[in-house]
Amino acid sequence: MYRQMNKNNFIYLRGLKHAENAVFCVDNGQKSYFDPQFQCYVPFSSGQQVKRSVLSTMTEILGTTPAPTTFVFDVKDKKLGEGEVLSICDPNYPDQLLGGWMRAVKEGKERTVKRRSPLSISAMHPLHPLLVTKWSENVTFDRSDRPEVHKVKVRMGGTELTEEQIEALLEGSDRSLFRKWIPNNYRASGLFVYDIAIDLRTLFCVSTNQYEPEISTEMVEQLKTNGWILSKNVFGECLILPKEQRDKIIPVLAKSILNWRITSNQSRTFSLMETLAVAISGNANTVAGAIRAKLIDDSEKPKAKPIIDETAGADVFITLPCANYIVTETESADALQNAEAKLIEMLSDFDYENQL
């Protein structure tokens, strides 16, 4: 009993990334929240965005198609209104198995099924509020170099003005009509961390409980036909993905957790978002201690110092770029490969088929 209670059912990981002049989400240019202790707004990326980035990287490496989604709209008074977003709820898709799902049809026309993701993912947030910055800039969409090629339309009250009317409107003004001003574009730079908890008990297991269903009875039979293994975990009877398929997903999952990045459709905001360090452990407290910041009390202005602590109890992997920002002596070119190998080992060692 003592051994069972102390079995490692979770893997905890903290990653430290550097972002330079980046945009995490196009919401006034950049999402942010207010830090009450240091009285400032700090940029962040939502956990949902991080999760989507991880799963997108995974499906790309696997070469699989993401699970299809159905978007439902309601028409009322000849206008489209928002309806449900319906998941296929099929664990044969790796992004569904690891990402979770929910299918709740309006007015209870179908039984609701839902699966909590075995990956709990935090927002990508500042290592410390004093180690990041957020600012705004005004940018332009400029085509003023070739006015003879590009066209301009000016509307007044829904009516398009003639060239003569436009010239009269601009008289006495130096306004260019071939340049669109885009004000208040927020950008973010600094050191950011993301935390992931992997629940090994449910990672490759789908519950067959029909009182709180994760899948339909039809899907239960389909999975059995596909070779899924009937077993039990702490939550009850479940079906487990066969080892052959687990062994294909595990190395890709490990690589995706370490090598994801947020991409933007705005090329001017591209950032490598390089990973500086990774801490991995079966204890959440040790990963928090391994990658942290220390507040330095200064009479004029408080400062924060980033710290990588290899004695905190977690396995720590430090990449070469980390030395740009933190004093360290053990950075290595193969740090991420070593972190990946550690993750694969921990994911593979868990006995998914004999949890009880």
Bridge partner list, 295: 304
Using a 10 angstrom Cβ sphere, with 0-12 exposed, 13-18 middle and 19 or more buried, the burial of residue 12 is: buried
- Full pLDDT tens readout for the chain, 356 residues: 333 444 689 999 999 999 988 877 655 556 788 999 888 889 898 899 899 999 999 999 999 989 988 888 887 776 777 777 888 999 999 999 999 998 888 777 788 899 999 999 999 999 999 999 887 666 666 666 777 777 778 888 888 888 888 778 778 777 777 677 666 667 789 999 999 999 999 999 999 998 889 999 999 999 999 999 999 999 999 999 999 999 999 999 999 999 998 865 554 567 889 999 999 999 999 999 999 999 987 767 889 999 999 999 999 999 999 999 999 989 999 999 999 999 999 999 999 999 98
Residue 57 confidence (pLDDT): 94
Residue 94 confidence (pLDDT): 95
Token pair 């008289």: residue:
171
Q: Edge-to-edge strands of the sheet including 236-240? A: 205-207, 236-240, 229-233
Go through 179-202 and write b for each residue having 16 or more CB atoms within 10 A of its CB, e for each that does not: eeeeeebbbbbbbbbbbbebebbb
Residue 105 confidence (pLDDT): 84
**Sign of the torsion formed by the C-alpha atoms of 138, 139, 145 and 151:** negative
Type of residue found at 281: S
Cα–Cα distance for residue pair 244/204, rounded to 1 Å: 12
Residue 204 confidence (pLDDT): 97
The strand ranges marked E within 172-267 are 179-199, 205-207, 229-233, 236-240
Bridge partner list, 318: 277
Cα–Cα distance for residue pair 131/304, rounded to 1 Å: 7
Cα–Cα distance for residue pair 31/119, rounded to 1 Å: 23
Other C-beta atoms closer than 10 Å to the C-beta of 174 total 5
Residue 311 confidence (pLDDT): 96
Cα–Cα distance for residue pair 261/56, rounded to 1 Å: 10
Give the CA angle between residues 77, 78, 81 to the nearest 5°: 80
